Chains A and B, each alone.
Chain A
Amino acid sequence: MLRWLLGRLARAAGAAWLTASLVFIGSRLLPGGPDQLALADASDLSRPVAGTRPAATQQAARLAVRNRLGLAQPIFYVTRTAGQWQWHGTANQYHRWAKAALHGDLGYSYRDGQPVATLLVHALRYTLPLAASAAGLAVGLALALGLYLARATGSVWQRLVANLLNCLQITPLFLLALGLLLLFANPEFLNLLPAAGQAPGAASHGQLAAYWLGRLALPLLSLVLAVLPELTLPLAAGLRQEATSGYATTARAKGLTTRQMLRHHALPNAVIPLLTTLTDLLPTLVAGTVIVEVLFALPGSGRLLAEAAAAHDYPLVVGGVLVTATARLLGLLLADVLYFLVDPRLRPTA
């Protein structure tokens, strides 16, 4: 089992590296680039401009930007120009990045010159607690609601909950989050929760905690409601399916209530297909949720990476991809481990 785990970890690390490398090379082959975006638009006359700025001046400025950002070097060890393969040795962008990354240095943002690792860590300080709380809360609620819906009593409340979950499932996250914002942070309606205010300057830990609790309530609610149907509805269906099987009938015949049977016997089997969905949440914890972060003005990793991609801030994009891909692959590994724990028949030693 340990050897299998180490092997999977090594393969996951290799796959994450390969993904980041492909993004590294692919991003540099995209049209445009940071050199083009860094230069002022010629039709921007908001500040007085002298002269005509001929094409040669523009080319010189682009070359200066490329030199400054280290983009003037060849991208990879070999490149193909004019039908000929050229070998560049170690004097290439990929080698420089790979060497630094293996030493734990993910490079510096093109926009503000800050270390990529610092920027990611700072953004994750907001995203991780938010997304982890949302995932935890959603899982807890999904288990409770799944068990409730699977009891098949056909009550009005059950139908209401099921319909509500179906509605939530077809509602896009931006609409859901905007709706909550307009509902609960609107002086024209219910002005109950802050959406974008500032943390009190000289505040005690308690006051700060209270502020952040209020501030994160709506983003948290948005994320929980967005992911809840995805977890609850398949779980409820799985539980209902398991409730018709022979061992469930036996359990009931032995005197267990439906609730006890579902919780103690059907749930371990019904939860197996959900493990992949659950571990899929792991990369979300790292990559963040752009929509919620933009709408609620949270400086999380989703917003950071989206803005970096729009600005062609390659080091930040590649760093983000490396971390997200690692989280994704670890999520898959975690799913496998959980499968083995829940169902011993699936273990490699079985």
Chain B
Amino acid sequence: MKYFWLGSLFALLASACSTPPVKQASSPIYTRWARDPETLDPLAVPNQSAIDAANLLHMALLLVDYQANAYAPALAQALPQVRTIGDSLTALGYELRAAATWDDGQPVLATDVDFTLKLLQCPGLPNENSRAQFGFIRQVLIDPANPRRFTLVCRGQGTEIMTGSGDFSILPEAALDPAHTLRRWPLAVLQDWPAARAPAPAVAALVQRYQRANLARQPGNMPGCGPYRLAAWETNQQLRFQRKAHWWADKLRPAPFVLQARPQELVFAVLPDDAAAALALRRHDLDVYPQVPARIFQQLQASPKAREELVFYTKSSYDILTAGFNTRRPALHDRRTRQALSQLFDPAGLLAATQLGQGNRTVGLLPPSSPFYNDSLPLPALAPILAARLLRQAGWQRRADGHWWQPGEAAPLALTVRYRAEEATFATTALQFQAAAARVGIAVALLPTENSVLTNALQTGDFDLYIRLVKGSPFGFNFATFLHSNAIGSGNITGFSNPVADRLLLAIPAEGNLPRKRLLLRRLQVVLREEMPLLPLFFLPYRLAASRQLRHVVASGIKPGYAITALSWPAADAQLAGTH
């Protein structure tokens, strides 16, 4: 017994001094997920983990190429042929790859695309977000001469129409609707079906069949066309994906970047705590740690041992930290007041304090790297003297008590700032604003709020200022969803309404001519700076730490921040080189 304990102790100490294990070609790649995907239903995809999983199990017409930061053809043979119809419609001509097949060997056809788009509109399925997102696709015209060729007839015109038309998982009609029930229903009829009206019996039967398939937990109940299959899912613990031995895209030479799937096994470990995830990375329980918080990233980089074992990447993302004003509040109705308050934020100091100086300050909602960025505008900066001057211009008077009053008003200028609780960056920003405002005589109350309560408070206008992220992308410039006056009551929580901005917001996505689009976007940035419904503070960085043994690490500023299917171990590369 004594020797058993001695042996155990020796084994423990030996493991403590261990070096990173040498990986085999088939060794799994362990990646950190901060949360469980909750569901693998391809219609729902409620969070980033679910989106990542869907991209492994299924395949879309277009996928993000993280090398080029652009959409690239996946199931589609090429990017769609764009043709405008009149002044309000767009026709997108697609052709599916001839090699594309389902797991059962059947070809992926235009009827599958048509079926999927109709399924996205069926009432009773968890597709409400997809309904809104792909509601602009009104009709699928299948080429009678070529079952792989089809045209999507879309409402509206602009670049978002093209890029947004292909980013959804295609599902097999033969497996889910062998009787072709949905072929009888035009897509537009399903889209326009009133929410209060019961679905047609045939549609209801299909919905029940879909629900019985339990794709939320058992995606393998349906043949897929993605490179991986779900091997195991332990809720809130880990998901294990295995590479299909025969995947249709393996035949493509050369394989496009978006159709490369090198790892034989992917394991996503659900580790909600950042510190625990960092320790897991150091203990070689993880190989990839995306979205590393600033402090942990700094600590890892400071450790010589960690630097030996890990590589670090930082990319500027498209997520912008913004402060928004409730323009419906009488005190904030005047744009000069909003301009004055925006002078009390210190983007440079905040970037240094919360992001180690990484990331990018900005003049507007576009990143400085964008060709549409308005570099003529000055970067926002802390300017309390200018703030006081602007407040006076807006009619505020500073009284002997140090506070700002409007003539005839019963109370001085005082603000509440709402932001999501337990977010250090938001809290730091709010505290900095509070301190700067106090110095010029404005009382600021901070209201860190639980996420669902915050969403409700913002929707109902129960705030003066908010601090939150606007999640952007390089794919489109449709800011109308949260700035257009039409969206007041839904996405436009600032209540901002301006005829010039409205015109620009609608014109920008529709404009196909790049020089004209550039002018419109530059003008929008000026209008938003003058009207100041919200103040973009800076673009956040994405930080990635990965095992030094990994090859083909492609870091990106687009979520999830890396290309998981491109990764491989040196042994796998050597094996592949030997094969060829």
Contact = CB atoms under 8 A, between A and B. Distances in A.
Interface of A: 31-33, 36-55, 57-61, 63-65, 67-68, 111-114, 119, 122-123, 178, 181-182, 185-188, 190-192, 194-198, 294-299, 303-304, 307, 310-312
A67 B195 contact: yes
A303 B471 contact: no
Interface in B146-197: 154-156, 158-161, 163-164, 167, 195-196
Given A37-B452, A304-B236, 17 more contacts: A36-B459, A41-B471, A43-B481, A46-B559, A48-B476, A50-B136, A51-B135, A51-B156, A52-B484, A61-B128, A63-B196, A111-B38, A187-B279, A191-B283, A195-B280, A297-B270, A299-B235
Given A49-B481, A50-B160, A297-B276, A111 B46 contact: yes
B560 to A, nearest CB: 10
Nearest to A48: B164
A198 B269 contact: yes
B451 interface: yes
A225 to B, nearest CB: 18
Nearest to A190: B16
Given A114-B216, A185-B279, A198-B269, A50 B489 contact: no
Contact of B126 (A36, A68, A187, A198): A68
B364 to A, nearest CB: 14
Given A54-B486, A297-B276, A188 B476 contact: no
Contacts of B506: 52
B436 to A, nearest CB: 25
Nearest to B137: A50
Nearest to B459: A36
A36 B452 contact: yes
Interface centre among A113, A186, A304 (most CB of B within 10 A): A113
Given A63-B195, A188-B282, A49 B450 contact: no
Contacts of B481: 42-43, 45, 49, 51-53
Contact of A186 (B236, B279, B457, B478): B279
Contacts of B102: none
Contacts of A67: 123-124, 195
Contact of B163 (A31, A48, A310): A48
What is the predominant secondary structure among interface residues of chain B facing chain A? mixed
Contact of B279 (A181, A192, A312): A181
Contacts of B452: 32-33, 36-37, 310-312
A38 B46 contact: yes
B234 A299 contact: yes
B541 interface: no
B475 A48 contact: yes
A190 B489 CA distance: 55
A295 B278 CA distance: 12
What is the predominant secondary structure among interface residues of chain A facing chain B? loop
Contacts of A61: 128-129, 131-132
A190 B16 CA distance: 7
B167 A48 contact: yes
Interface string B453-496: 10111011000000011111101101111101011111111000
Nearest to B277: A196
B59 interface: no
B251 interface: no
B315 to A, nearest CB: 15
A53 B132 contact: yes
A274 B131 CA distance: 58
Contacts of B12: 192
A297 B133 contact: no
Nearest to A34: B452
Interface string B264-287: 000101111101110110110100
A50 B478 contact: yes
A100 B126 CA distance: 23
Contact of A49 (B15, B128, B164, B272): B164
B164 to A, nearest CB: 3
Interface centre among A38, A41, A303 (most CB of B within 10 A): A41
A112 to B, nearest CB: 4
Contact of A191 (B16, B235, B491): B16
B433 interface: no
B478 A181 contact: no
A64 B558 CA distance: 30
Given A32-B456, A54-B490, A194 B164 contact: no
B217 interface: yes
Contacts of A186: 279, 282
A192 B283 CA distance: 10
Contacts of B217: 112-114
A111 B491 CA distance: 23
Contact of A197 (B131, B211, B285, B492): B285
Nearest to A300: B236
B370 interface: no
14 contacts: A38-B128, A42-B490, A47-B133, A48-B160, A52-B480, A53-B481, A113-B211, A123-B236, A178-B275, A182-B279, A187-B16, A196-B276, A197-B285, A295-B273
B129 A39 contact: yes
B294 to A, nearest CB: 18
Contacts of B492: 42
Given A32-B456, A64-B123, A46 B237 contact: no
B214 A113 contact: yes
A36 B456 contact: yes
Nearest to A44: B471
3 closest A-B pairs by CB: A42-B491, A55-B489, A48-B164
Contact of B456 (A31, A44, A52, A185): A31
Contacts of B558: 46
A297 B271 CA distance: 5
Contacts of B126: 38, 68
Given A43-B482, A191-B15, A312-B452, A64 B131 contact: yes
B360 interface: no
B237 A297 contact: yes
A296 B236 CA distance: 11
Contacts of A36: 452, 455-456, 459
Contacts of B159: 48
A46 B47 CA distance: 12
B318 interface: yes
Contacts of B155: 50-51
B285 A198 contact: yes
Contact of A181 (B41, B276, B487): B276
Nearest to B211: A113
A67 B41 CA distance: 19
A206 B352 CA distance: 51
B490 A57 contact: yes
A278 B214 CA distance: 42
A195 to B, nearest CB: 6
B335 to A, nearest CB: 21
B326 interface: no
B281 to A, nearest CB: 10
B30 interface: yes
Contacts of B486: 52, 54-55
Contacts of A182: 275, 279
Contacts of B125: 68
Contacts of A59: 490
Contacts of A65: 128
A51 B476 CA distance: 12
Nearest to A122: B235
A42 B280 contact: no
Interface centre among B30, B476, B481 (most CB of A within 10 A): B481
A192 B487 CA distance: 56
B277 A53 contact: no
Contacts of B270: 297, 299
Contacts of B15: 191
Contacts of B214: 113
Contact of A58 (B39, B158, B280, B490): B490
B580 interface: no
A213 to B, nearest CB: 10
